[in-house]
Amino acid sequence: MAVATRSVAETCAAAQRAARALGSASTDAKNAALEATARLLGERVEEVLDANAADLADEGAAELTPALRDRLALSEERVAAMADGVRAVAALADPVGEELEGKTLDSGLELTKLRVPLGVVAVVYEARPNVTIDCAALTIKSGNAIVLRGSHYAERTNGALAGIVRDALAEAGLPQDAVLLLAGGGREDLAELATQEDTVDLLIPRGGEGLKKALKEVATVPVIYAAAGNCHVYVHAEADLEMARRIAVNAKTQRPGVCNAAETLLVDATVAGEFLPPALAELREAGVELVGDERARAAAGGAEIAAAEDDDWGREFLDLKLAVAVVDSLDEAIDHVNRHGTRHSEAIVTGSADAAARFTAEVDAAVVYTNASTRFTDGFEFGMGAEIGNSTQKLHARGPIGLRELTTYKYVVSGDGQVRE
C-alpha cells in the first residue's frame, strides 16, 4: 500500500530506518530509482489519471474553486512534466558527501566539513499531486526519507504516485519506506506528526497562513514554512508600460492558484491614468475580479473595479482576483509591500537602475524581480530540477527548497593519537 496504514509514530519510525540506509546509498543507486520513477510514470500514466479522475469526481472536490481544481487536475502532459522533473533531478550533482571545507588544525588534526542528509523530512501539502513526485525525487537524491501528508482531496492520486516511487525504489534495491504517504487526517494527526521529535528531522508545510498558525501552536520539530504568497507587482513611474502590462497580466493569470501568482498590483500615480485602463481591461477580459483603492478606481477607465476591503491587501486570493492600488512614490510602494507581503516574491517594473536597486535592496522577500513576472519563483525554473516548497523565512533555507537545502553538514576529524592538554 502506498498510503501508510500504520500510525503516525510507526510511519515516522519506519521512515527513519529507511533514511539510515538511503543516506549511505550510492549516487548511481539513487539515480537508478529516479530513472525508474520517470519511466514508470510514463508506463502507468493511465493508472494515475484514473485515480485523479476519481478524486476530481468525489463530492468533496466539488467545493474547490476553479483555481484549486486546476491544482488538483492531471493530464498526460502534466504527468509527462513530472517525469521530466524527476529526470532533471537525476541529472543534478549529488550534494551528499560534498566537501565544504578542509584544513589542518594547530593540533595536527585534519578537519573536514561534509554535506550530509537531514534524515527524515515530513511535508504537509494541499491538493497538488505533482508535489508528491517533486518531493520524493528531491529527498531520494539528497539521501533523505520522506513522510508525505497530502490533502484528502488528492488521496487516490497521491497514493498512485507514491506507489510508483516505492516500486522504483524497490527496483533500484533501495528501501521502499524511504517514501511513505499518510492519509489526509484531521488536525490531531497533523499535531502528532509535528511532535515526532525522535524521528522527524524537518517538517515543511506547504499551505496558507491557517496551516502555519496551527503548526506554530504545536510543532516541536524544526519547521521551514513554505507558506502563503501575497506577491506584488509594482509599476514604477519610469516603467515601460507595455512591458508592465504583460508582466502584470502574466503574474496574475498564467496560473492564479499558485503561491507565486501576483495578488496585488501597485501603480505609480504619474502613470496610473495611462497604464490602468488598458491593463485592467485586459485583466477583466481574462476573468479577473478587480478590487481597488479610491484612486485606482478613479483611474480605471471603463474597467469594472469594486472597492477594496482593508483585509484585501494582505490576502492570498489563489484565484482570479487582484487588488489594485495607486501609490505616490517608490518609498510608498516599498512600505506597502513590506507591510502586507508574505516575503515570498515581489516585482518592480522600471527603466530606472536606481529604483530597481533600491527596491531589491529594501524589499524583504525571498525573491525580488526587476522587469519580470513573479511566476518564475520555482525550483525547476531556477535550475534546481524541482522544489519541495518555497521558504518564506530566513533560516535554514529561503526561496525554493532544492537538494542543497535538504542537507546539513557534519565535521569529520582525523588524528593520530592527539589528546587535548
pLDDT at residue 4, as a whole number: 57
Q: Is residue 245 part of a domain?
A: yes
Q: Is residue 401 part of a domain?
A: yes
Considering the domain architecture, whether residues 193 and 212 belong to the same structural domain is answered as: yes
Q: Is residue 381 part of a domain?
A: no
Q: At what angle do helices 45-57 and 27-43 cross, to 10 degrees?
A: 70
- What would the mean pLDDT of 195-222 be, rounded to a whole number? 90
| Integer Cα distance of 259 and 226 in angstroms | 9
Considering the domain architecture, whether residues 88 and 135 belong to the same structural domain is answered as: yes
- What would the mean pLDDT of 28-35 be, rounded to a whole number? 98
pLDDT at residue 363, as a whole number: 98
pLDDT at 185 over 70: no
pLDDT at residue 396, as a whole number: 85
pLDDT at residue 221, as a whole number: 97
Q: At what angle do helices 76-91 and 130-141 cross, to 10 degrees?
A: 10
Considering the domain architecture, whether residues 218 and 163 belong to the same structural domain is answered as: yes
| Identity at 413, one-letter amino acid code | V
Considering the domain architecture, whether residues 167 and 81 belong to the same structural domain is answered as: yes
pLDDT at residue 276, as a whole number: 98
Q: How many helices (H) and strands (E) does the chain have?
A: 14, 16
How would residue 39 be classed by pLDDT, with cut points 50, 70 and 90?
very high
Considering the domain architecture, whether residues 177 and 240 belong to the same structural domain is answered as: no
CA 194 to chain centre: 19
Q: What is the pLDDT of residues 350-382, one digit of tens each?
A: 999 999 999 999 999 999 999 999 999 998 899
The CATH number of whichever domain residue 258 belongs to comes to: 3.40.309.10
pLDDT at 237 over 60: yes
Between residues 311 and 206, which one has the greater pLDDT?
Answer: 311
Q: Are 276 and 268 spatial neighbours (Cβ–Cβ below 8 Å)?
A: no
Q: Is residue 332 part of a domain?
A: yes
Show the CA angle centred on residue 233, arms to residues 230 and 239, nearest 5°.
170
pLDDT at residue 172, as a whole number: 98
Q: Is residue 1 part of a domain?
A: no
Per DSSP bridges, beta strands 202-205 and 179-182 are unpaired
| Integer Cα distance of 343 and 178 in angstroms | 32
pLDDT at residue 16, as a whole number: 98
Q: What is the pLDDT of residues 246-269, one digit of tens each?
A: 999 999 999 998 899 999 999 999
What is the DSSP secondary-structure string of 107-166? TS-EEEEEEEE-SEEEEE--S-THHHHHHHHHHHHTT-EEEEE--GGGHHHHHHHHHHHH
pLDDT at residue 79, as a whole number: 98
- What would the mean pLDDT of 100-104 be, rounded to a whole number? 98
How would residue 211 be classed by pLDDT, with cut points 50, 70 and 90?
confident
pLDDT at 391 over 60: yes
Considering the domain architecture, whether residues 23 and 162 belong to the same structural domain is answered as: yes
- What would the mean pLDDT of 49-57 be, rounded to a whole number? 96
Long-range contacts of 196-201 (CB under 8 A, 24+ apart): 196/8, 196/9, 196/12, 196/122, 196/221, 197/221, 199/9, 199/12, 199/13, 199/15, 199/16, 199/120, 200/12, 200/120, 200/121, 200/122, 200/147, 201/118, 201/119, 201/120, 201/121, 201/144
Backbone angles phi, psi at 158, to 5 degrees: -60, -35
How would residue 344 be classed by pLDDT, with cut points 50, 70 and 90?
very high
Q: Is residue 140 part of a domain?
A: yes
Q: Are 193 and 218 spatial neighbours (Cβ–Cβ below 8 Å)?
A: no
pLDDT at residue 213, as a whole number: 86
pLDDT at 188 over 50: yes
Q: Is residue 185 part of a domain?
A: yes
Domain around 364: 231-376
* Domain tally, the chain: 2
- What would the mean pLDDT of 337-359 be, rounded to a whole number? 97
Considering the domain architecture, whether residues 47 and 60 belong to the same structural domain is answered as: yes
- Cα dihedral value 213, 56, 37, 31, nearest 10: -30
Q: What is the pLDDT of residues 281-305, one digit of tens each?
A: 999 999 999 999 999 999 999 899 9
254's grid cell = 498564467
Considering the domain architecture, whether residues 219 and 238 belong to the same structural domain is answered as: no
Considering the domain architecture, whether residues 188 and 151 belong to the same structural domain is answered as: yes
Considering the domain architecture, whether residues 201 and 238 belong to the same structural domain is answered as: no
Considering the domain architecture, whether residues 126 and 255 belong to the same structural domain is answered as: no
- What would the mean pLDDT of 137-143 be, rounded to a whole number? 98
How would residue 3 be classed by pLDDT, with cut points 50, 70 and 90?
low
- What would the mean pLDDT of 399-406 be, rounded to a whole number? 95
pLDDT at residue 303, as a whole number: 94
pLDDT at residue 131, as a whole number: 93
Q: Are 412 and 98 spatial neighbours (Cβ–Cβ below 8 Å)?
A: no
Considering the domain architecture, whether residues 111 and 41 belong to the same structural domain is answered as: yes
How would residue 241 be classed by pLDDT, with cut points 50, 70 and 90?
very high
Backbone angles phi, psi at 168, to 5 degrees: -65, -40
The CATH number of whichever domain residue 171 belongs to comes to: 3.40.605.10
Q: Mean pLDDT for the chain?
A: 94
pLDDT at 5 over 80: no
pLDDT at 323 over 90: yes
Q: Is residue 127 part of a domain?
A: yes
